[in-house]
Structure 1
Amino acid sequence: MRKVDILKEWWEHNVAFLSQLKHRAQIHGRIEDAQDVPMNVLETAPVFVLSTGRAGTMLLTRVFELIDGVEVFHEPYPDLLYAGKAAYQNSTNLEFAKGAFMGGRYELIRDSYIRNSRYIETNNRITFFAHAIAELFPNAVFIHLIRKPESFIASGLERGWYTGKSITDEGRIRPEDSSFDAWRTEDKLAWLWNETNHFCERFRSKYQDRTYFLKSEDLFSNPKALVDLLKWLNLTIPSTSELEKVIQKPVNSGGGRSKEISYNEKLTPLASKYY
């Protein structure tokens, strides 16, 4: 991790912490009966973005930040790195996923509720909690954000995914194939792209009225795609100029477009369906 990235993350965390202290002070006195709060929180309509990561979630965060009445979190703490992987590995144990998610997110969602704000999370690490979230929050809605596999793989390579050099790899899912460690990194990322989006696709088929499908390529270039999304979410729509300004300013960019990416395309059968 570069020093500039460390300093940036340190600064953002400290700004967020000071903001949280301010908000926490504002919460006191707003509660009529604390015993009713948990049930009321579970009846709210939070928004969650499901994705592989490296798909435009930061840009989407910047769009949501333009809107009053919402609180958007891109990388809230705790990270839920390993917990997200465990939720994937123990997909039949929904109670585990519910407990892990509530332990990591309840207070954030609760505080948004108390401040009369709608909670939005664009963090890809909650993706494999989707089924648990859907049951816990019956009014929650989900955005499935997808990016072309070539672009995703290039970005993952640039970030050093599956190299074991970053702590974030502890939360990276893996197939049961015993030969996976010997795979090229490009192919590991290709498998991750397909497996994650296949999970999201199955989730969408179960919750069709609560999910929205969005391609990051449209997010990066088409303000109308954002307008349609915001309408679906019943959120205030910023001006076209505001949306265009966000789109035109690169955010958390990466992709290694200067060289051709070679990977086993048999690992990404969903690519032909969406691209």
Structure 2
Amino acid sequence: MIGKVKRYLELQTAWHRRLLVERREGKQRRLVGLPLFPPPEEVLAAPYVFVLSTGRSGTAFLTAFLANSQKLSVHHAPKPELEYVSSLIHRNVPEPEALDLALLAARFDLFVDSYRSGTTYVETNNRITFFAPAAARLLPNARFIHLVRHPAEFVRSGVRRGYYADGVVQHQRLQPACHAEWESYSAVEKIGWEWNEINGFIESFKMSVPGDRVLTMRSEALFRGPSALTSVMEFIGVGGDADLLARMAKGALKPVNQQISGTFPTYEYWSDADRSGLARVATLAVAYGYDL
């Protein structure tokens, strides 16, 4: 498998064609410090961090914070964003080799850019979640942060954003391959099922890799003081980063990309039917310490 991947990378010519130059006063100057075409093995051996989540879980906030570091190359919505293909992978699990090649085709150029800049590549895009097994296989020094949000808050955000709304085509939403009750589910139940399905996938993935490659954190902790952010910094190898420490010293960090449009009550005002519906499908809630 590794030999095939190496061959694939050697055949990729897109990044070879790029002129790695800067324009200064009308003159071209080669970038210095690293080979023009870094060996694929070295690129794959670099450090990487992938944030795995359902989305709507504080990833934009984490992106904004980590972007303060000059040691990190942080991407929240890199192109392609993998919206459709992530749901496709969920419906039709590909062979490992196919998933590996898909990840390389989508991200190798960015990996090279990060390698050449001497920074750690960090991706907070939730669509990368279903590519985690490929990342673990191809990138031996990759680490993973599992960010979890209260299922009721995820559902509330999803309803306000129109997740699973009738008459709306949403190719990025997950659906069970065969589920007799699915069509009778309310929006709350469908969104709650998606929360459980994605986190269930992440839990299965975490069992396949050494524990020191994964950090699991409730997203609510990010907004309750510096301890959670300090844990993230230490986990990804920038514990003493002066820029990040300076940002924390400035004071309270506020949520980013909060849902403003749409209306749906907070959990305390839900109907009994919605509460019981969520509890029925979000069975992993108790594992993360959430009461439903």
Q: TM-score category by the smaller chain? A: 0.7 to 0.9
Instruction: With the length of structure 2 as denominator, give the TM-score of the two structures.
Output: 0.78
Q: Which runs of 5+ in 1 are unaligned?
A: 1-22
Aligned equivalent of 1:109, options 95, 108, 111:
111
Q: Per-residue CA shift, 1:10-56, capped at 9, x if unaligned?
A: xxxxxxxxxxxxx964595445252x432211111110000000000
Counterpart mapping for 1:196-275 below 5 A: 196-207=198-209, 208-235=211-238, 236-237=240-241, 238=243, 242-243=247-248, 247-254=252-259, 258-259=265-266, 260-261=269-270, 262-263=274-275, 264=277, 265-275=279-289
Q: Which runs of 5+ in 2 are unaligned?
A: 1-18, 23-28
SS in 1 for 2:283: coil
SS in 1 for 2:140: coil
Change (3 A) 1:67 1:267: same
RMSD: 2.5
Change (3 A) 1:215 1:71: same
Q: Is the 8 A contact 2:20 2:36 kept in 1?
A: no
Instruction: With the length of structure 1 as denominator, give the TM-score of the two structures.
Output: 0.83
Q: Per-residue CA shift, 1:58-107, capped at 9, x if unaligned?
A: 00001101212111000111111111122223335112211221111110
Change (3 A) 1:257 1:118: same
SS in 2 for 1:71: strand
Q: Is residue 124 from structure 1 mapped to residue 126 from structure 2 by the alignment? A: yes
Partner AA of 1:252 in structure 2: N
Partner AA of 2:175 in structure 1: R
Deviation of 1:242 (Å): 2.1
Identical counterparts, % of pairs: 34
Between the aligned partners of 1:230 and 1:156, the Cα distance in structure 2 is: 29
Partner of 2:150: 148
SS in 2 for 1:248: coil
Max Rg structure = 2
Between the aligned partners of 2:257 and 2:245, the Cα distance in structure 1 is: 22
Partner of 1:163: 165
Between the aligned partners of 1:233 and 1:116, the Cα distance in structure 2 is: 15
SS in 2 for 1:79: coil
Q: Is residue 72 from structure 1 mapped to residue 74 from structure 2 by the alignment? A: yes
SS in 1 for 2:233: helix
Between the aligned partners of 1:38 and 1:74, the Cα distance in structure 2 is: 24
How many residue pairs match? The answer is 251
Partner of 2:100: 98
Q: Is the 8 A contact 1:63 1:246 kept in 2?
A: no
Change (3 A) 1:112 1:241: closer
Between the aligned partners of 1:71 and 1:82, the Cα distance in structure 2 is: 25
